[in-house]
Amino acid sequence: MEEPKVEDDRIPILKMEDQNFENHSIPSKQSPTFDTPIVSAVSLPPGYWAHMAKEREYRFGRRAIRTPGTLLYSMRDLPSRREPILRAPNSRKRIWPMNGRDLIELINQKPHNTEALYAQVVADKALEGQAACTNCLAGDGLYPVCVRVSGQYHCANCHHGRQQDRCSLRPATSLGAGENNPEGEGNSPLQGTERASKSIEAGNIDIAEKIGNLLLLEEKELARLHDMVAKKEDLIQTLKAIQESLSVSSRLR
């Protein structure tokens, strides 16, 4: 398959006829564009936007998805299970993405947004009815479908925007027996350790992304300096050649 054509450095254009998959979220016989609405109230099979979610590189995901130990890396080989459709706007949301272009801009704002989009496509646990997060049931969150990746303590909807602490799927916090929990009820020490480990991992991912961005800038600066040095060396060689030529001409006179 040919490489996607690129309109600019952010938005690749993929045409339906170039893809070996069927799109379910837009009318048939219509090539999707980034201005095509991707709003639905029900889960849809993976199609064009699921492909875009997994195949394009996002600002905060290009390094993480290649780095073992990150959430994106752990999800990268999972199969697509659903289209990352958006929840229809409601009165509580004044600004809400309605199409692919708006979604991409929103996803590029935070690392957690990139992870949530990816999880929405590949998560193996779709939670319905009372099993869903209370925030999802209340109509909150970017996506209408409540999903959770195995091993995670919260749903993808709450992960978006780094709001995972509000997710009702997370086990209640327990620090062992104490004034507010005399019997030490709640999570076992092991669960608390696992949760703390997850928090540390999330913090490490954020730090790794920031370091990655800094490294990228430094690499670009180093490349610029190397290019400048090469040009200076070429100039010096040219000046030496001119000087030598003039010296020879002077001796011949």
Residue pLDDT, tens place only, 132-167: 889 888 888 888 889 998 888 889 989 988 888 888
Domain range enclosing 77: 5-170
Query: Cα-atom radius of gyration of the chain, to the nearest Å?
Result: 26
Domain membership of residue 247 (yes or no) is: no
CA dist., res. 124 & res. 132, Å (int): 14
Q: Residue 83, Cα to own-chain centre: how many angstroms?
A: 16
Domain membership of residue 156 (yes or no) is: yes
Mean pLDDT of the chain: 70
Domain membership of residue 100 (yes or no) is: yes
Q: Which amino acid is at 101?
A: R
Per the structure, the count of domains in the chain is: 1
Determine whether 49 is exposed, middle or buried from the number of CB atoms within 10 Å of its CB (0-12, 13-18, 19+). buried
Domain membership of residue 205 (yes or no) is: no
Domain membership of residue 221 (yes or no) is: no
Q: What is the mean pLDDT of residues 179-200?
A: 43
Domain membership of residue 199 (yes or no) is: no
Q: How many helices (H) and strands (E) does the chain have?
A: 7, 4
